[in-house]
Amino acid sequence: MKLAILSNGNANYSTKRLVEEAEKRGHKVQVVKYKNCYLSLDDKHPDVYYKGEKLPKFDAVLPRISNGMTRYGCAVLRQFEMQGIYTPIASVAITRARDKLRAAQILAKYDVDTPKTLVSRNTSDIDDLLEQIGLPVIIKLASGTHGNGVILADTRKAAKSALQAFYLYNEDGTNILLQEFIKESAGTDIRAFVVGGRVIASMQRQSLDDDFRSNLHKGGMGTPVKLTDEEKKTAIKAAKAMGLHICGVDLMRSSRGPLVLEVNASPGFGIEKVTGRDVASKIIDYIEHNAPRRNGKDRIGA
């Protein structure tokens, strides 16, 4: 199989592992730095060029697109989708997952349990919103990532002034979500790595200081954790709702059961080191199984 990995390069641990695993099985792998690709917008030949050369017809494309490059990365991926090349992670699923408001709407539509969430753009609504959500409250920027853009406001005054500032200076920018604070598990969350409708690895993340955010990028620490059946089912349901066959589902353990925080379209591979599970090999297994069946059948994109 000829496999393209859309990535920022071989220096990423995840990319290195995927290349290693695919090559071990005799596949031909090309790491394509999507940032440096250019695209030919011709309906009969939606080609992708890289370093001055047209890229060959791949059997599968695996996107590992970073948050800061979602738009261009997905445009490159769409180009491959227009060629009918199989991808386990569709561009539309990535753009949906990267917008917390859109993702929350999709999860609600498919009846996936999440913390209670409200969205508004008007200062005059703030009292009403806080009345409904209660305090403390989580304020989230729809486009935030790595824990940046998530605020915990303890008091009505703090929440109100933060929201007023956001509404005022963010006229046409990212949307702002107000979310119920899940205090039972503040400072911890669970990452369930889902591949092809199965949880293949799971870890708990714990912030090491008094931060309420448990992101590893914020200094959180991961430990292996065994999920309950309900947690597994919730993670799988969330992955399915988002249309992401390979993803990292973040859950919080709450007094009313597991709640989904978000579904990550390019989950990190730090979970391999924490759990000892071979995530890369499960992903290559999945692609090996699905690419021959789906190739040419999923002419989607654009």
Ligand X SMILES: Nc1ncnc2c1ncn2[C@@H]1O[C@H](COP(=O)(O)OP(=O)(O)O)[C@@H](O)[C@H]1O
Question: Phi and psi (nearest 5°) for 235?
Answer: -60, -45
Q: For ligand X, give the closer residue by CB, 141 or 291.
A: 141
Q: Which residues bind ligand X (CB under 6 A)?
A: 115, 138, 140, 144-147, 149-150, 179-182, 186, 189, 212-215, 250, 261-262
Q: For Mg ion, give the closer residue by CB, 21 or 250.
A: 250
Q: Which residues pair with 259 in a beta bridge?
A: 252
DSSP, collapsed to helix, strand or coil, labels residue 26 as: coil
Both structure tokens of 136 = 């403390």
Q: For ligand X, give the closer residue by CB, 91 or 179.
A: 179
Residue 64 interacting partner from Mg ion, ligand X, none (CB closer than 5 to 8 Å by kind): none
Closest CB 130 distance from ligand X, rounded Å: 15
Closest CB 114 distance from ligand X, rounded Å: 9
Q: What is the DSSP string of 193-222?
A: EEETTEEEEEEEEE-SSS-S---GGGT-EE
Closest CB 273 distance from ligand X, rounded Å: 19
Closest CB 271 distance from Mg ion, rounded Å: 13
Residue 182 interacting partner from ligand X, Mg ion, none (CB closer than 5 to 8 Å by kind): ligand X
Residue 5: which residues within 8 A CB-CB, separation 6 or more? 15, 18, 19, 29, 30, 31, 32, 61, 62, 64
Q: For ligand X, give the closer residue by CB, 144 or 196.
A: 144
Residue 301 interacting partner from ligand X, Mg ion, none (CB closer than 5 to 8 Å by kind): none
Closest CB 144 distance from Mg ion, rounded Å: 9
Q: Which residues bind Mg ion (CB under 5 A)?
A: 250
Q: CB 48: neighbour CB atoms within 10 A?
A: 25
CA 292 → CA 73, 87, 148, distances in Å? 24, 11, 40
DSSP, collapsed to helix, strand or coil, labels residue 251 as: strand
Residue 144 interacting partner from Mg ion, ligand X, none (CB closer than 5 to 8 Å by kind): ligand X
